[in-house]
Structure 1
Amino acid sequence: MYTTMIAIDIVAFGQRCHDTHTQRRVRHELYERLSEAFAMTNLPWAACHREDRGDGVLIVMPAEVNATHCLDPLAHHLAVLLRGHNRFASDATRLRIRTAVHHGYVERDDHGVFSPATVHLFRLLEAPAFKKALQAAGTDLGVIVSDTLYTEAVQRGGNLVVPSAYKQLWINCKEVRRARAWLWLSPHHSDH
């Protein structure tokens, strides 16, 4: 099916969460904040296909979901929730998240989902340029959007995506060479 995919990774999970108790707590908080952000955005959390990645999650939206809702609306809601959580979190339990959003055809088998589109999604998520930009910004949330999804969302118009909130970023990661993507960063707050 042709759908929107979201890949999420907890920044520095292995470096900050050294024991299983802390890992369990941070993972619980991640899923709580995600389900809340989906509810705030009117996205169907329960209807999504989800694959846990240990320090993150792959979310495959139902085909009928408008991909545009997975950009600015979801990012803004998630940023607010992360800020609220992080205000009282320790360094070990602070949630900083990298998120990649892409769309395309997805196949499913007994082990999960796969396709060239899912490979591209994870190349975006793991791209060194994305990691470096988020680290330099020091924000709680960074979202990278594939060029095709961003272009389609902007061409549709409407007020759900604000193009000026995105910065062009060139990605080089494994077999993906010089691919254009679009970066959205949550505002930086100094109350952490």
Structure 2
Amino acid sequence: MDVEEYGQEWRTTRHQLAVREGLYRALRRAFDDVGLPWEDCRVEDRGDGAFVLVPAQVPKGPLVEALPYSLADALRQHNKAHPAEEQIRLRMALHAGEVAFDDQGVTAPSINRAFRLIEARPVKKALRESPGVLVVITSEWFFDEVVRHSGVVDPATFRQVQVAVKETSTTGWIFRPDHPYPVGHDLVGPPVGLLRIARAT
């Protein structure tokens, strides 16, 4: 997760401390609300955001089906009680993969991918243009393996974007839980390979 405009000059240290406290309070509340084990997650502070590594045995569905909605609600509650300098608008990236642990923490290409997704221009633009408080970008893998098969979220409310950050060039899928894109079924058709198989039979 990454807080929009955290480092702007109009935020004093006092404001940033309030934002950090509000972010972690919102995250804990959202994880608790949807039954995800916050205490079992590895959480690393990033100053203007947080990196949360969810245990592999936790089902991935709730991370996109429930967590973003609960988190957006918790952020709205925080914002109602704080001045503009202490309010939070957030980008969140969802990805899954293998990770390696060492004495300094964790590393893996999958972690790099998540960080590149959250820094992508399209997700920053999506948040700037949204009246909501949260924008989520998923990796192509997460979209294909989790979102497409969900019976809770509608894949047609996601928007495909190209991500080009540092050495990473990939596809991401953006959705806005508290201000959804209109349904666009034409954007979520079957993969090209399946179309070719269907035509060949």
Please classify the TM superposition score into its range, dividing by the shorter chain length.
0.7 to 0.9
Q: CA deviation at 1:126?
A: 0.4
Q: Which among 163, 166, 172 is matched to residue 171 of structure 1?
A: 163
Aligned counterparts, 1:139-158, within 5 A: 139-158=132-151
Q: Secondary structure at the match of 2:85?
A: coil
Q: Which among 103, 116, 137 is matched to residue 110 of structure 1?
A: 103
Deviations 1:87-121 (CA, angstroms, capped at 9, x unpaired): 23211111101100100001111111110000000
Runs of 4+ in 1 over 4 A off after TM superposition: none
Residue 161 of structure 2 contacts residue 172 of structure 2 at CA under 8 Å; is this kept in 1? yes
Aligned residues: 179
Q: Secondary structure at the match of 2:97?
A: strand
Residue 11 of structure 2 contacts residue 86 of structure 2 at CA under 8 Å; is this kept in 1? no
Q: Secondary structure at the match of 2:35?
A: coil
If you compute each CA radius of gyration, which structure gives the higher value, 1 or 2?
Answer: 2
Report the TM-score, using the length of structure 1 for normalisation: 0.88
Counterparts of 1:165 and 1:80, CA distance in 2: 19
Q: Which runs of 5+ in 1 are unaligned?
A: 1-7
Counterparts of 2:143 and 2:168, CA distance in 1: 18
Counterparts of 2:10 and 2:18, CA distance in 1: 9
The answer to whether structure 1 residue 185 and structure 2 residue 176 are counterparts is yes
| One-letter amino acid of the counterpart of residue 176, structure 1 | T
| One-letter amino acid of the counterpart of residue 174, structure 2 | L
Counterparts of 2:31 and 2:123, CA distance in 1: 23
Report the TM-score, using the length of structure 2 for normalisation: 0.84
Q: Which runs of 5+ in 2 are unaligned?
A: 180-201
Aligned counterparts, 1:1-192, within 5 A: 8-15=1-8, 18-159=11-152, 161-177=153-169, 179-188=170-179
From the two aligned structures, give the one with the greater strand fraction: 1
Counterparts of 1:92 and 1:109, CA distance in 2: 38
Q: More relative contact order in 1 or in 2 (CA 8 Å, sep 6+)?
A: 1
Residue 169 of structure 1 contacts residue 180 of structure 1 at CA under 8 Å; is this kept in 2? yes
Q: Secondary structure at the match of 1:15?
A: coil
Q: CA deviation at 1:16?
A: 5.5
Deviations 1:135-175 (CA, angstroms, capped at 9, x unpaired): 1224210100001011101343433x321221111111111
